[in-house]
Amino acid sequence: MSDYDILDVKFKFKKRPLDLPGDLRPNWRVPLLLTMLYYCCRGGKSSLYKLHLLNWTMRDQQRQHALLSSLTDAPQYDGICVQVEPSFIQAILFAAGEGLLERLDKSRVKITEAGVTFVKEVEREDCLAIERQFLKSVGMKLTEEWVTKFVAWSKVA
Amino acid sequence: MRLHIRHLSIKVTTGSGNYGVEIPFTSGLNVLRASNSMGKSTAIQAIIYGLGLEAILSTSQGVPFAHVLTQYLEVGGRDALVTESTVFLEFENEAGSIWTTQRAVKGERHPNLVTVHEGPLLTSGGTHPRQDLYVRRPGAAKNEAGFHRALAEFLGWNLPEVETYDGKLVPLYVEAIFPLMFVEQKRGWSDIQARFPTQFRIRDVSLRATEYLLRLDAYEFLLKRRSLVQRSSELKQQWESRVESAVSTANGENMRVEGIPALPTAQWPPEGGIRLLVFRSGEWADCAMIQETDEAALARLPKAKRIDNALVLTTQDSLADAEKALTAVQFAISRKLDTQEQLDLEVTRLEKRISEIEVEVRRNKDELVLRKLGSQQNLSIAESHCPTCHQGISDSLVSDLRAEFMTVEDNIAFLDEQRKMFNAVLERTRRDLARVRVELAADREESNRIRTTIRSLNATLTSPEGTPSTADIESRLTLRDSIERRKRVVRRVNEIDNALAMLAEEWSANEAELTALPKDMLSDSDSKKLTYLEKSLRSQASEYGMSSISAETLSINPDTYLPNHEGFNLAFDLSASDLIRTIWAYINGLREVATQFETNHLGLLVFDEPKQQDAAVESLAAFLKRASLSALANHQVVIATSEPLSSLAPMLEGIQASLVKFDGRVITKT
């Protein structure tokens, strides 16, 4: 029997659903975004750039470590680089659409009352525990000023 | 087991004279009738108080009585202050011994003190031996001076130890059993389960109490299973440590054991037996065979030769052979190092992949909850819609893909499968790695041995003529040493083999006992009792006129021992008045089981105002009739009711019952 004999049957293709990484699901990403705003942004306000920076650190512990160790008076920016991830932008748009955050101007957003309520609900259910723990340890140390300096440094380099 | 109440006496001293009540009880049905708020419940509470059981009334530490016994009595429109009040209760046990308890409600004597007169103080007077015992203090159930301990002994109850929520063992308190016999008015009628005292923190208190009351073997089975499961996990641990010890003993001498099951088995020796393997010239060989070969070689070794020209020539040949062998071994070592490195890398990769999958699983599980929270916040994305354009978003942030994605549940199942597979591969890889490590160690030892040989061959070549050959001596020593070391491993592994054989035997006995336990954890007699209870429940329910469901659909759940309706908790399906009928039938049914089987039931029921929720008059009549049959078994049913005499009297006509009626207040001037 040759290979062709084996192949000589009717093919039937069935579309099967793909698996999707958890961080690409809006219902996971939006609460995470809100948690960033709630724990790491003074007054719940943030520049988009800072959010992208935080988002970049969510991928693995090495990045988180790099960010944490650079939040000092004499910061070392090596090991930090920021990617703009389209799916994160989509999450921001969804969150804005849901009224969980509002746009202050072209480059800044602010969490709304509804957003804060949601974050608290999420914490009560102990969801996103590990992610929240990291964001809490970053806290308000990651200031807009720090971000501005980092951007300046990136441009020079 | 039997508790028979003979007489209740309440005495109240006030500023304007003495008050009180005397109530005699007989075998069978006793009906106390008084109008509402005339002190009927006080009489029932006094029975409970006289037995020190007020924990079934409320969790508070206070005295459970209304103001008549604690503060003031209304006398002709004026309040008379209560200065002292006491409850006396005379009761009898199975053996015919009679006790009278005396307990102050108000006055100088502490309410936690129960004085026991060991005789019929109320019905015959006289003086009897007495002892002061206490309740409502830690130790009342266990301590010598604790009333409940004495009461349990008097009743012939040998109370089992049960587990609390924090894992401690406590006796099954008597207060936890009485709710199956006493139904008080405040909480007693809300649900069959509502009445168990929770303050003792006993795990599954209703199950334990019912098992004890009906003397079911189920609890024994439960304890037995728990101890068997515990033993089985101990055996498993011992087994694993033995296996570990066998493996490390063998690996320590660059050997390998094969064929020991990692988990306990009943069959010993295992199929194929335990094999000890030695790594020799690039392959694994049976240890016994190697030993045999080596011992033969050792025996064949000639005595060390004296060095002469011929020997020098053969020694030179041997040296060349040894050097060739060394090169070969070193080549093998370097190849194995590569393999080891690859396997190491593979393990790291697998571990990383597994931990990534675990992160993914966690995210997906979070996502499940987050979506639920989101839909509580009315988020469109929780319903897979875009909040702005309201189109479907296929649940993903990757908007321009038209792909269809798994649901979160499917995704979790998918990841779980992946994790399982990767774990299996990881385990396999680790095993391979362990084996390569042993092989490497064996090869290194071999190369050391060859080096030693080369050195001694060289020494032989440079020694003066006429001295004994160093190489011969050396090879004899090396051979003997390795034979001895392997013997030690064989001995140790044999010991472990014996130990495992014993463990296997114990394991199989333990497993056999576990499988021998009945599946539903009920013995034959348990099943008979529960079947009887079910029959009794159905026949009563139909006599009492259950209307919202058919009495025939009632059953007793073997897991909870509670009435069920087609497998569901009754509270959902029943009308309020049918729930009351079911409680009558259930509590009385438990008593009726005691008329046919050996149980720990006391043959006593106390109901405070069973006519709840406007149960029909006919229902109450049927209930009283059924309860009056208790006299046949020498049981006792005490019912307090406010049913008007005009309707109560006809109900009691033609049935055996003792009616104690109060025209006004129960507590009157004496």
Q: Is the pLDDT of residue B88 over 90?
A: yes
Whether residue B578 contacts residue B549, with contact meaning beta carbons closer than 8 Å, is answered with yes
Q: Where are the domains of chain B?
A: 3-217+522-669, 218-305+468-521, 306-463
A2 pLDDT tier (thresholds 50, 70, 90): low
Among A27, A87, A118, whose Cβ lies nearest the Cβ of B367? Answer: A27
Share of chain A above pLDDT 70, in %: 95
Question: DSSP state, B268?
Answer: S
Residue with token string 């509590």: B587
Question: Is residue A46 one of the residues assigned to a domain?
Answer: yes
Question: DSSP state, B666?
Answer: S
- Nearest of B287, B256, B244, B278 to residue B435 by alpha carbon: B256
A130 in B contact zone (CB under 8 Å): yes
B308 pLDDT tier (thresholds 50, 70, 90): confident
Average the pLDDT over B434-439 and give the result: 91
Q: Which of A121-125, B97-101, B326-330 has the lowest mean pLDDT?
A: A121-125
What gap in Å lies between CA B104 and CA B241, rounded to an integer?
63
Question: DSSP state, B639?
Answer: E
Q: Is the pLDDT of residue B534 over 70?
A: yes
Q: Is the pLDDT of residue B496 over 60?
A: yes
Record: contact B381-A24, CB cut-off 8 A: no
What value, to the nearest 5°, has the Cα angle with vertex A72 and ends A66 and A78?
Answer: 35
Q: Is the pLDDT of residue B573 over 70?
A: no
Q: Is the pLDDT of residue B62 over 70?
A: no
Tokens of B44: 């029932």
pLDDT digits (tens, 9 = 90+) for B386-414: 888 888 777 778 765 567 788 888 999 99
Number of domains, chain A? 1
Which chain A residues are closer than 8 Å to B379 by Cβ? 27, 30, 98, 100
Question: Is residue A13 one of the residues assigned to a domain?
Answer: no
Q: Which of B325-329, B397-401, B413-417 has the lowest mean pLDDT?
A: B397-401
Average the pLDDT over B527-549 and give the result: 91
Task: Please give the helix or strand (H or E) that residue A127 lies within, else none.
Answer: none
Tokens of B55: 């924990």
User: In this structure, which amino acid lies at residue A103?
Assistant: R
Question: Is residue A97 one of the residues assigned to a domain?
Answer: yes
Tokens of A30: 């939006």
- What pLDDT shows up at residue B41? 87
Question: Taking the CB of residue A138, how many other CB atoms lie within 10 A of it?
Answer: 17
Interhelix angle B408-462/B470-516, rounded to 10 degrees, is 150
Which chain B residues are closer than 8 Å to A94 by Cβ? 381, 386-387, 397
By DSSP bridging, strand B113-117 and strand B130-134 are antiparallel
A5 pLDDT tier (thresholds 50, 70, 90): low
Residues 6+ away with beta carbon under 8 Å from B62: none
Record: contact B411-A24, CB cut-off 8 A: no
Half-sphere exposure of A99 (CA within 13 A, CB side): 7
Whether residue B405 contacts residue B394, with contact meaning beta carbons closer than 8 Å, is answered with yes
* 3-state class percentages of chain B: helix first, strand second, coil last, to nearest 5: 50, 20, 30
Q: Is the pLDDT of residue B177 over 60?
A: yes
Instruction: Give the distance from CA B485 to its chain's centroid.
Output: 49
Record: contact A27-B370, CB cut-off 8 A: yes
Average the pLDDT over B297-314 and give the result: 84
Average the pLDDT over B22-33 and give the result: 93
- What pLDDT shows up at residue B400? 55
Average the pLDDT over A66-92 and give the result: 86
How far is A27 from chain B, CA to nearest CA, in Å? Answer: 6
Beta strands in B347-494 (DSSP E): none
Question: Is residue A137 one of the residues assigned to a domain?
Answer: yes
Record: contact A26-B395, CB cut-off 8 A: yes
Best A27, A29, A90, A128 residue to mutate vs chain B (most B CBs within 10 Å): A27
Share of chain B above pLDDT 70, in %: 96
Tokens of B325: 């062998």
Record: contact A18-B404, CB cut-off 8 A: yes
- What pLDDT shows up at residue B312? 86
Q: Is the pLDDT of residue A1 over 60?
A: no
pLDDT digits (tens, 9 = 90+) for B623-633: 999 999 999 99
Q: Is the pLDDT of residue B140 over 80?
A: no
What gap in Å lies between CA B238 and CA A155, rounded to an integer?
64
Record: contact A22-B369, CB cut-off 8 A: no
B61 pLDDT tier (thresholds 50, 70, 90): low
A21 in B contact zone (CB under 8 Å): yes
Average the pLDDT over B573-592 and give the result: 87
- What pLDDT shows up at residue B220? 84
- Nearest of B487, B500, B494 to residue B287 by alpha carbon: B487
Q: Which of A8-17, A126-135, B644-653 has the lowest mean pLDDT?
A: A8-17
What gap in Å lies between CA B506 and CA B622, rounded to an integer?
58
Which chain B residues are closer than 8 Å to A98 by Cβ? 379-381, 387
Cα-based distances in Å from B550 to B25, B139, B575, B578:
36, 47, 12, 11
Q: Is the pLDDT of residue B284 over 70?
A: yes
Q: Which of B234-238, B298-302, B590-594 has the lowest mean pLDDT?
A: B298-302
What gap in Å lies between CA B148 and CA B150, rounded to an integer?
5
Q: Which domain holds residue A33?
A: 22-147
Residue B291 burial class via C-beta count within 10 angstroms: exposed 0-12, middle 13-18, buried 19 and up: middle
Q: Is the pLDDT of residue B612 over 80?
A: no
Same topology, domains B3-217+522-669 and B306-463? Answer is no
What value, to the nearest 5°, has the Cα angle with vertex B11 and ends B8 and B17?
Answer: 150
Whether residue B88 contacts residue B102, with contact meaning beta carbons closer than 8 Å, is answered with yes
Whether residue B563 contacts residue B552, with contact meaning beta carbons closer than 8 Å, is answered with no
- What pLDDT shows up at residue B194? 60
CATH of the domain at A85: 1.10.10
Could you say which of 1.10.3470, 3.30.70, 1.10.287, 3.40.50 is the CATH number of the domain covering B306-463? 1.10.287
Rg (CA), chain A: 21
Question: Is residue A153 one of the residues assigned to a domain?
Answer: no
ipTM: 0.84
Best A23, A25, A62, A117 residue to mutate vs chain B (most B CBs within 10 Å): A25
Sign, Cα dihedral of B461, B463, B469, B475: negative
Average the pLDDT over A113-120 and give the result: 92
Tokens of A148: 């501005």
A14 in B contact zone (CB under 8 Å): no
User: In this structure, which amino acid lies at residue B34?
Assistant: A
Per-range mean pLDDT, top range of B179-188, B269-278, B414-423:
B414-423
Question: Is residue A136 one of the residues assigned to a domain?
Answer: yes
Share of chain A above pLDDT 90, in %: 42
Record: contact B388-A90, CB cut-off 8 A: no
- What pLDDT shows up at residue B503? 94
- What pLDDT shows up at residue B47? 93
Question: Is residue A100 one of the residues assigned to a domain?
Answer: yes
A91 pLDDT tier (thresholds 50, 70, 90): very high
- What pLDDT shows up at residue B331? 94
Record: contact B396-A26, CB cut-off 8 A: yes
B565 phi, psi to nearest 5 deg: -125, 110
- What pLDDT shows up at residue A32? 95
What gap in Å lies between CA B164 and CA B167, rounded to an integer?
5
Q: Is the pLDDT of residue A89 over 80?
A: yes
Q: Is the pLDDT of residue B24 over 60?
A: yes
Instruction: Tell me the CATH number for domain B3-217+522-669.
Output: 3.40.50.300
Residue with token string 């199929």: B271
Residue with token string 């936690």: B112
Mean pLDDT of chain B: 88
- What pLDDT shows up at residue B474? 85
- What pLDDT shows up at residue B568? 67
Between these two residues, B652 and B139, which has the higher pLDDT value?
Answer: B652
Q: Is the pLDDT of residue B315 over 70?
A: yes
